[in-house]
Amino acid sequence: MVNYFSSDFTLGILGGGQLGKMLLYETRKFDIKTHVLDPSAEAPCRIACDVFQQGNLMDFDTVYKFGKKVDVITFEIEGVNVDALEKLEAEGKKVYPSAKTLRNIQDKGVQKQFYKNHRIPTSPFKIFESKDKLNEAIVRKELHFPFVWKSCTGGYDGKGVSIVRTAEDVIPLSEGACIAEKLIPFKNELAVIVARTPSGNVTTYPVVEMEFHPEANQVEYVICPARINDSVAEKARAVAEKVSKAFEHVGLLAVEMFQTEDDEILVNEVAPRPHNSGHYSIEASFTNQFEQHVRAILDLPLGNTNSKVGGIMVNLVGAEGHNGEVVYENIEKILAMEGVTPHIYGKKETRPFRKMGHVTIVNKDISEARKIAEEVKNTIQVISK
Amino acid sequence: MVNYFSSDFTLGILGGGQLGKMLLYETRKFDIKTHVLDPSAEAPCRIACDVFQQGNLMDFDTVYKFGKKVDVITFEIEGVNVDALEKLEAEGKKVYPSAKTLRNIQDKGVQKQFYKNHRIPTSPFKIFESKDKLNEAIVRKELHFPFVWKSCTGGYDGKGVSIVRTAEDVIPLSEGACIAEKLIPFKNELAVIVARTPSGNVTTYPVVEMEFHPEANQVEYVICPARINDSVAEKARAVAEKVSKAFEHVGLLAVEMFQTEDDEILVNEVAPRPHNSGHYSIEASFTNQFEQHVRAILDLPLGNTNSKVGGIMVNLVGAEGHNGEVVYENIEKILAMEGVTPHIYGKKETRPFRKMGHVTIVNKDISEARKIAEEVKNTIQVISK
């Protein structure tokens, strides 16, 4: 076995945001040497790695040269130069997840087509190479309202996704390639995180449920375990495993799914990295998702994905109308609540809806955790000075 | 309330070893700015703090100047210049735990006298200002074999402590001031960690038990909860609270105690900082000891000290006969065991008995955890290349 611990072995991480920051807790715990590349000098990962390099993640030379200096490369963001990763792989460097996995995921049209080719259940869709082609299809009545529009590239945290109900709704959509999906009413939005090693060992985390705000179409709570029946949970984990197998990814794969009105499971999209839906695992799981990612990409034995206790995650996003130096109002009040742990990502400036941190609420009783989560949500405010 | 989170507020930490390293996981989680002072350029804290300064912790000027630049000062090692801390306090700087607490603890004679003055149960003892005075007392038959000898200063990890059974055993003892304690047979060695805020809020962690190797007189396992009956556990927590109240310390205080043959609790010694006996809390407790220390010294609400699951900690110390670049042999084997998390401190060189890391084993069933802990102990080896 390679000696990863307190040795010269170096893990390179593309992206230095909050996911990278939480990954570094684990590399520090195992004393694994790390290099991090991020465009911002103020990135949350600027400390706690061994070498921090400021640079453009989409630039071929920057990524290639960064990769040459490390032993294994991983990423915490999909927006990286895949050509550079492919060249590094061709030269024998280990890139986990692989450039191929990333290519199949980066473009949402390619990703949907991948599901279709691999007979993975997903909502019906059409791909359009431009907004003009989309408009043509509407005019020719090949595409009917309502539908879900998704930009093929660049979507993130709800950006690049719209529900299109009328011709009016088409006007603000961006110009590039896109997909139009059938709008399917669903009971629940679920997610399963799968970990896979280069040797092909696989574990899945329990199914989590995204609870949405009844009016603002925004995830309010990620709840583990999901409040669904066992047969649906089993089906969701089986679908996630099938997706994982199809991608042959290495590392984590977060699989987001819909539970339809008639309890079918449809894959919505995946992320080949630690994921917001797995943050609860830091406090709730025997092995948290970040440690599991490290274990997976280094081909170490995977850890136990079961939970010690019930866990709920609440995102801390910047309040509307607040821009500038951040203040976490009433944070001391939530610290007084039972089983509450705030995670502050370290971004100095808040903006409306910017992800600034998250709060985990753990409790042996998940319905008690849910009550406390609501108190947390109603108490803490991310505002500016 | 002071705005500690993502602000200019700065916490200064004296000492940059493994305790500081684990403390930094928590300051990072809350995005609290930190400066760390340590004599070694290779200290485990050299990364993950905002500013790392290399310097002598016993040097007045170094400690004083370091302290002037931060808002609150804490320490992860008792061997620091207390005069500098006193001057900083006199000038209005917050030092937690206080210089006074540290003065009462640094010298074991003073510490024992403190217990006596505060009617805290502890084994009978005599203080000697030198080895000559100790010898005189033996000759005059004022002191009888066997007894426990402790150096008043400089003891650490079992150094500076001897059981003296014969005149022969006196010969290798060091020259300085010492105490001689009555050797009291005990059933168990227990510890309780107490957290106390400047406002006087107090929490205690569950009682842990140190299980010793039957032959080598060395702690093998720290077990939480201790396998003792409830009335003994209650008594131990009450004694620990009494000690905490007497010291009026702020932050953590680890209270080590003996459970005698007739179920009395005697205080052995205390450490005013996160402690080896609390490492299990990272994986097992709702609030780990390092987060609790941060909460305490910043006068934030204290967290829940209960456990999610049973926890056992095994120290990883350098194997005998091995000196040099460290290798954690069979670490991949223990990673395959249920609920096992290794913590590698980041020291590059191993030496016999050097604390290189620890392993936590968590399980809903503590006797199952105990079995796995033994497997861990029999599997991993800290050796040199």
Q: How many CB atoms lie within 10 A of CB A69?
A: 11
User: What mean pLDDT do residues A47-72 have?
Assistant: 98
How much is the pLDDT for A155? 65
Cβ distance B336 to A301 less than 8 Å, yes or no, reads yes
Query: Is residue B319 within 8 Å of B330, Cβ to Cβ?
Result: no
pLDDT tens per residue across span B337-368: 999 999 999 999 999 999 999 999 999 999 99
Q: Which residues in chain A are contacts of B291 at CB distance < 8 A?
A: 341
User: What mean pLDDT do residues B250-266 have?
Assistant: 97
Cβ distance B331 to A5 less than 8 Å, yes or no, reads yes
In angstroms, the separation between the Cα of residue B36 and the nearest Cα of chain A is 13
Q: B186-384, what's its fold?
A: D-amino Acid Aminotransferase; Chain A, domain 1 (3.30.470)
End-to-end CA distance of chain A: 51
Q: Is the model's pLDDT at A344 over the cut of 80? A: yes
Closest-CA residue to A78 (of A104, A54, A52, A45) = A104
pLDDT tens per residue across span B190-202: 999 999 999 999 9
Cβ distance A31 to B346 less than 8 Å, yes or no, reads yes
Closest-CA residue to A288 (of A306, A270, A312, A315) = A306
In a 13 Å sphere around the CA of A233, the CA atoms on its Cβ side amount to 13
Closest-CA residue to B313 (of B280, B285, B355) = B280
pLDDT tens per residue across span A198-245: 999 999 999 999 998 777 667 899 999 999 999 999 999 999 999 999
Structure tokens belonging to residue B253? 């205080």
Structure tokens belonging to residue A192? 């399963």
User: What mean pLDDT do residues B310-326 have?
Assistant: 96
User: How many contiguous H segments (helices) and E segments (strands) does chain A have?
Assistant: 12, 21
**Burial grade of B301 (CB within 10 A; 0-12, 13-18, 19 or more):** middle
Query: Is residue A349 within 8 Å of A298, Cβ to Cβ?
Result: no
Q: What percent of chain B has pLDDT over 90?
A: 94
Q: Where is pLDDT greater, at B156 or A30?
A: A30
Q: Is the model's pLDDT at B217 over the cut of 90? A: no
Residue found under tokens 């050299």: B46
Q: How many CB atoms lie within 10 A of CB A324?
A: 13
Cβ distance B348 to A6 less than 8 Å, yes or no, reads yes
CA distance A43 to A18: 8
Q: What are phi and psi of A89, to 5 degrees?
A: -60, -45
pLDDT tens per residue across span A2-46: 899 999 999 999 999 999 999 999 999 999 999 999 999 999 999
Residue found under tokens 């030269």: A91
How much is the pLDDT for A133? 96
Closest-CA residue to A282 (of A9, A92, A21, A1) = A21
Q: What are the structural domain ranges in chain A? A: 10-95, 124-182, 186-384
How much is the pLDDT for A157? 58
Cβ distance B29 to A327 less than 8 Å, yes or no, reads no
Query: Is residue B358 within 8 Å of B313, Cβ to Cβ?
Result: yes
With cut-offs at 50, 70 and 90, classify the pLDDT of residue A277: very high
Residues of A annotated in the binding site for ATP, as ranges?
108, 150, 181-184, 189, 268-269
Residues in a beta bridge with B195:
B203, B252
Q: Is the model's pLDDT at B127 over the cut of 70? A: yes
Residues in a beta bridge with A328:
A382
User: What mean pLDDT do residues A56-75 have?
Assistant: 98
Query: Is residue B25 within 8 Å of B87, Cβ to Cβ?
Result: no
Q: Are strands B51-54 and B33-38 parallel, antiparallel or unpaired?
A: parallel
Q: What percent of chain A has pLDDT over 90?
A: 94
A249 CB near a chain B CB, below 8 Å?
no
Q: Is the model's pLDDT at B174 over the cut of 80? A: yes
pLDDT tens per residue across span A119-150: 999 999 999 999 999 999 999 999 999 999 99
Q: For the ranges A151-165, B41-55, B255-269, which has the lowest average pLDDT?
A: A151-165
Please give the CATH number for the structural domain made up of B124-182.
Answer: 3.30.1490.20
- Find the closest chain A residue to B338 by CA distance: A304
B108 is in an annotated binding site: yes
User: What mean pLDDT do residues B175-198 have?
Assistant: 96
| The CATH number fitting domain B10-95, selected from 3.30.70.1060, 3.40.50.20, 3.40.309.10, 3.40.50.1100 | 3.40.50.20
Query: Is residue A244 within 8 Å of A194, Cβ to Cβ?
Result: yes
Cβ distance B346 to A29 less than 8 Å, yes or no, reads no
Structure tokens belonging to residue A33? 């040497």
CA distance A18 to A22: 6
Torsion angle of C-alpha atoms A66, A70, A71, A72, degrees rounded to 10: -50
Residues in a beta bridge with B204:
B194
Return the ∠ at Cα B47 (arms to B41 and B51), rounded to 5°: 80
B182 is in an annotated binding site: yes
- Find the closest chain A residue to B18 by CA distance: A29
Q: What are phi and psi of A148, to 5 degrees?
A: -100, 120
Residue found under tokens 């990863």: A4
User: What mean pLDDT do residues B86-99 have?
Assistant: 98
How much is the pLDDT for A158? 60
Query: Is residue B210 within 8 Å of B277, Cβ to Cβ?
Result: yes
Q: Which residues in chain B are contacts of A19 at CB distance < 8 A?
A: none
How much is the pLDDT for B157? 58
B325 is in an annotated binding site: no
A52 CB near a chain B CB, below 8 Å?
no
CA distance A355 to B272: 37
Query: Is residue B237 within 8 Å of B204, Cβ to Cβ?
Result: yes
Q: Is the model's pLDDT at B214 over the cut of 80? A: no
- Find which of B280, B344, B359, B385 to mutate to test the A interface (most A CBs within 10 Å of its CB): B344
pLDDT tens per residue across span B114-125: 999 999 999 999
Closest-CA residue to B94 (of B299, B300, B302) = B299
How much is the pLDDT for A218? 74
Query: Is residue A55 within 8 Å of A326, Cβ to Cβ?
Result: no
DSSP B291-342: HHHHHHHTTPPPPP--BSSEEEEEEEEPPTT--EEEEEETHHHHHTSTTEEE
In angstroms, the separation between the Cα of residue A11 and the nearest Cα of chain B is 16
Return the ∠ at Cα B333 (arms to B328 and B338), rounded to 5°: 120
User: What mean pLDDT do residues B311-318 have?
Assistant: 96
Residues in a beta bridge with B186:
B260
How much is the pLDDT for B212? 86
- Find the closest chain B residue to A339 by CA distance: B286
Structure tokens belonging to residue B217? 């007189």
How much is the pLDDT for A111? 97
CA distances from B111 to A203, A383, B188, B200, B267 (A): 52, 47, 22, 22, 11
- Find the closest chain A residue to B45 by CA distance: A48
Residues in contact with A22: Cβ distance below 8 Å, sequence separation at least 6, in sequence order: A274, A279, A282, A290, A343
How much is the pLDDT for A216? 67
ipTM: 0.95
Residues in contact with B384: Cβ distance below 8 Å, sequence separation at least 6, in sequence order: B322, B323, B324, B325, B326, B327, B350
B65 is in an annotated binding site: no
| Inter-chain Cβ pairs, chain A and chain B, closer than 8 A | 100
How much is the pLDDT for B216? 67
Cβ distance A48 to B47 less than 8 Å, yes or no, reads yes
pLDDT tens per residue across span A304-325: 999 999 999 999 999 999 999 9
For all residues of chain A together, what is the average pLDDT? 96
What would the 3-class secondary structure string for A101-166 be? HHHHHHCHHHHHHHHHHCCCCECCEEEECCHHHHHHHHHCCCCCCCEEEEECCCCECCECEEEECC
Cβ distance A5 to B344 less than 8 Å, yes or no, reads yes
A residues 344-373 lying closer than 8 A (beta carbon) to B: 344-348, 362, 364
